[in-house]
Amino acid sequence: MSFRYGVPQERDWNALDDVEFRRIIRVEFETNYPTELRYAPRRLRWHETKDWYLRMARKGWIAPNWPLEYGGMGLSASKLLIFQEEAERWGIGRYQDHGTLMLGPVLLRWGTEEQRRRYLPDVLSCKSIWCQGYSEPGAGSDLAGLKTRAVRDGNDFVITGQKIWTTLAHDATHMFALTRTDPDAKKQEGISFLLVDLAQKGVTVRPIRDMAGHEEFCEVFLDEVRTPASNLVGELNKGWTVAKSLLGFERIHVGSPKMPEYGLTVLEAVARARGMWDDPLFREKYYALKLDVAHLADAYNHFTAIVIRGEQLGQDVSYLKIWATETFQRIADLVLETAGPFAAINGTVQVGNTSVDVLASFYKARTPTIYGGSNEIQRNILAQQVLDLPRR
Amino acid sequence: MTAHSIPENETIALLRNSAAGFARFDSRRIRDWRGRSPGFDRVVWQQMAGQGWLSILVPEADGGLGLGIEAAAAVAEQLGRACYPEPFVMAGLLVPGLLAASTNQALKRALLPAALSGDAIFSLAWQPADGSLKPATSAMRASRRNGSIVLSGECRFIVPAQADHYLVLAHTADGPLLVCVDADRIRPGLIEESGPDGFSSAWLRLSDLVAPEAAILMSGVGVTDTVEAALDQAIIVQSAEICGLMQRALELTLDYMRTRQQFGVAIGSFQALQHRAVDLFIQNELARHAKAAAVRAVEHGAQGKALSLVASSAKSRAAHAGLLISTQAIQLHGAIGFTDEYDLGLYVNRMIRLAASLGNAAEHRRRFGDLSEGA
C-alpha cells in the first residue's frame, strides 16, 4: 500500500483488467453501501451519506477521477467510466461532491501548487465540502450576466452579492464562485474564479424548498465576505475560461443512460402491478421508450469510446444531455400516467403486490433539463456551433 | 455538420471513399428512370458489380469478397447520400447471400457468377401479400409432383419488380423451400405496382406454375431461418442506406436555412427553427449510432433472435428519423420543398419507400417488443 497526499492507495487500479476492476468495485458497493439509501428519491444530505463517504475517503476511493499523486485513484478514462457506471447501477446517492468532481480538476488545471496543497487534502478527507456558486437571481441561462461583485481591498477580495440554486450549500463549508471583478469589461471578460470560506460573517445560506417538498438547493447571500487574493484561481478576469473548461465531461456524465434505464424498471413495475403490462397501447409506448434508451446507450458508448481513446469531446456531446434528460422525462411522465390514481399518493405506495414511489421519478426528472445549461441553451449551442446556423 | 465520425478500419474507409467517389448524386439520371422499367440503370448496376459491391457478403470460396456487413453498410450509406435508385440491398446483397448459401451446388455454380458480375438481376419473392414480416407465413404454397414442384399462391412487395430470375420462397407440407424461376415463366403472374419514387415493386400471383426440382436452391426447416437471417442483415444495411438519405436531406435543409433570407436575415438565425433543426440532428445521430451498434453486433457474431433484435432496433430508428427529417425538411424549406423540381423531393420519395420496405418504424418497434418478451 502506498500513501500519496496522505491517502492510501491499495493498488495500481489501471493495471487490472476491466472485468476484475468492475468486480472489485461492485463487491465493495454491494457489500457496504447502506441498502436503505439505494436509489434515494431525492438528493441525500451529508448527515445521511457521511458514513459511506468517510469510508470511501479512508479507502482512498473518494476521488476516483484525480491523479494518484494528488491522492486520487488515478483511474484511466475507461476505469473511471466503470466506476461511475457501477455507482449508478447500484443507485449510490451523491453527497455534495463538487469538491472532487469540479474543484479538484479546476485546481489541477488552473490552480497553483500552494492552492492544491492548501485545499485538496481536506476535500479528500471530506473535512471540507464544496458547493458551486454560479447562478444568480438575474443570471440563469445568461450566466455571464452575473452581478456578484468582488472588489480588491489590500490582500483580500471583498465579495457582495447573491447566489442561487446552489446545490446542497447547507452542507458546504466552502464555495467556488464566479464573481465580477471588472464591471466595465465585456460580460465574459470581467469574471474571476474565487475560492470562498463560508464559515464567516456576512454569509447567509437559506435552503429553498422545492415543489417535491425537498430542500436540495439554496440561496447564498454574500455581504462583504472576504477571501484572500491568493484564492483567485487562474488569472484575474479569466474566470469564464476556467469555468467553461469543466463542461465537456459534465455533459457526457449527465448523458448516461443509467437514469432512464432505471426509469424503465420503475415503469415496468408500475405497469405490471396495475395489470397494464400486456395492454397493446401501453406496450407501444413502452417499447418506443425502451428503444429511445437503447439508442441513447448506443450514442453514449460512442462518446465514452472517444474519452477512452484519449481524444477531445466535440461540442456535439451536448445532444446526449438533451436526449438523456428528455427521454427520462418522457419515461417519468408515462410512470405517472400508468400509475393512475396512485400518482396522487406521496412516497412509497403499495400498488398491487409491489411497493413503488410513483412521484419520485416524476420530480427527479424535472431538474436535469434545467441545470448544467438548460436544454434550450444546449440547443442554441448545437445549432450555432455544430450545425453552423447563423447567430442573430 | 461537425459531428464526430465513427471510427472504422482501413478497408472500410477505403471502400467508403471509393463509394463516395463513384456514387454521385445525379438529379437528371434519377428523374430519367422514374416510371421507366426496370427503374434503374443496368449499366450502372454492372459498374457497381465491377466495384465488387455485389460480392461483399459472399464468401471468398464462392468468388466473393467475404467482407462482412460493415463494408456493405458503408457502401449503402454512400448510395443513400447519392439517392441511387439501383436496388443494392435487395438485389445486390440479399440475393447473392442467399445464392451463396444454396445447398444445390450445380445451381449455385450456374447462377452465382452471373449475380456477382451484374449480368443477371435476381429478385427475392418472400413477403406475404398482407405485408407480414415473417417469412414463415409466406402465402406461396408448393407441392411436389412427378419430379417437379408446383407453385400456387402469392407474394408481394418484390423488389426489383423486373428481374431476370426470381427466387421464390414457398411452403410445402414438408417445410419451406427456395426455388429459382426464370422471368419468362413468372411474368404472366406479375403485376407491377409503382411507388412514390417512380420505382416499382411486384405482386406475384401464381397458379400451378411447374418448376423442375433441379431449380430448388434449398429446402427443409432451416430455409426460413436462412431467409430470415438474410433479411435481418438486409434490414441493417438498408438502415445504413436510409442514414445516407436522411443525412443528405438534413444537409440540404441546413444549407437552405443558412442562405434563405426573410425579414432581412437568414431564416436559420431564428431560434424556433434552430431548435427544430437540432432535434432533427439528434434523430440523425441516434439513427447513425443505432445502425453502427447493429453492424457491430453482426460483426461480433449476433445470430437468430439477437440478430433480429439489433436489426429491428436499427430500422425502427432509421425509419422514424428518416421520415421525421423528410417531413420537417419540407416544412423548413417551405413551398419550394414540395415541388418536383427541387431535389429534396427525390430524397423524400426514396425515403418513403425504404422506410416502408422490410418493415416500418412501428412494425419494428412491435417486433422488438415481441422479441424482447420472448413471444
Chain A, nearest residue to B257 by Cα: A389
A28 touching chain B per CB within 8 A: no
Label each residue of chain A as H, E or C: CEEECCEEECCCHHHCCHHHHHHHHHHHHHHHCCHHHCCCCCCCCHHHHHHHHHHHHHHCCCCCCCCHHHCCCCCCHHHHHHHHHHHHHCCCCCCCCHHHHHHHHHHHHHCCHHHHHHHHHHHHCCCCCEEEECCECCECCCHHHCCCEEEEECCEEEEEEEEEEEECHHHCCEEEEEEECCCCCCHHHHEEEEEEECCCCCEEEEEECCCCCCCCEEEEEEEEEEEEHHHEECCCCEHHHHHHCCHHHHHHHHCCCHHHHHHHHHHHHHHHHCCCCCCHHHHHHHHHHHHHHHHHHHHHHHHHHHHHCCCCCCHHHHHHHHHHHHHHHHHHHHHHHHHHHHHHCCCEEEECCEEEEHHHHHHHCCCCCCCCCCHHHHHHHHHHHHCCCCCC
Closest by Cβ to B285, choosing from A286, A299, A391: A299
Once rounded to an integer, what is the mean pLDDT over residues A69-95? 90
Subunit contact A284:B274, Cβ cutoff 8 A:
no
pLDDT for B161 equals 97
**Per-residue pLDDT reduced to its tens digit, A221-235:** 999 999 999 999 999
Once rounded to an integer, what is the mean pLDDT over residues A20-28? 96
Which domains are seen in chain A, by residue range?
A: 2-95 (no CATH), 130-238 (2.40.110.10), 247-386 (1.20.140.10)
Better-scored residue on pLDDT, A304 or B284: B284
In CATH, what number does B10-120 get?
1.10.540.10
A113 tagged catalytic: no
pLDDT for A4 equals 66
Give the ipTM of the model, two decimals please: 0.94
A-chain residues near B293 (CB < 8 A) = 298, 301
Q: Residue ranges per domain, chain B?
A: 10-120, 123-219, 223-373
> Can B123-219 and B223-373 be said to share one CATH topology?
no
Please check the confidence at residue A3 and state whether its pLDDT lies above 60.
no
Q: For the ranges A183-192, A267-276, A300-309, B260-269, which has the lowest average pLDDT?
A: A300-309
B-chain residues near A291 (CB < 8 A) = 313, 316-317, 365, 368
Once rounded to an integer, what is the mean pLDDT over residues A104-117? 94
A-chain residues near B285 (CB < 8 A) = 299, 316, 319
Block mean pLDDT (10 aa), chain B, length 375? 68 94 97 95 98 96 94 98 98 96 96 97 96 86 93 97 97 94 96 96 97 96 95 98 98 98 98 98 98 97 97 98 98 97 97 98 97 79
pLDDT for A41 equals 83
Closest by Cβ to B278, choosing from A305, A387, A391: A387
Please identify which of the residues A215, A219, A250, A337 carries the catalytic annotation. A250
Q: Work out the pLDDT band at A250, boundaries 50, 70, 90.
A: low
**Per-residue pLDDT reduced to its tens digit, A56-72:** 999 999 999 899 889 99
Subunit contact A298:B292, Cβ cutoff 8 A:
yes
Q: Work out the pLDDT band at A81, boundaries 50, 70, 90.
A: confident
B-chain residues near A301 (CB < 8 A) = 289, 293
Chain B, nearest residue to A388 by Cα: B1
pLDDT for A240 equals 95
Percent with pLDDT over 70 in chain A: 96
Report the mean per-residue pLDDT for chain A.
93
In CATH, what number does B123-219 get?
2.40.110.10
Q: Work out the pLDDT band at A1, boundaries 50, 70, 90.
A: very low
pLDDT for A251 equals 67
pLDDT for B356 equals 98
CATH class of the structural domain B223-373: mainly alpha
Please check the confidence at residue A78 and state whether its pLDDT lies above 90.
no
Interface of B with A (CB under 8 A): 1-4, 6-7, 254, 257-258, 265-266, 268-271, 274-275, 277-279, 281-282, 285-287, 289-290, 292-293, 313, 316-317, 362, 365-366, 368-369, 372
**Per-residue pLDDT reduced to its tens digit, A193-221:** 999 999 999 999 999 999 999 999 999 99
Pick from A293, A382, A387 the residue to mutate for testing the B interface (most B CBs within 10 Å).
A387
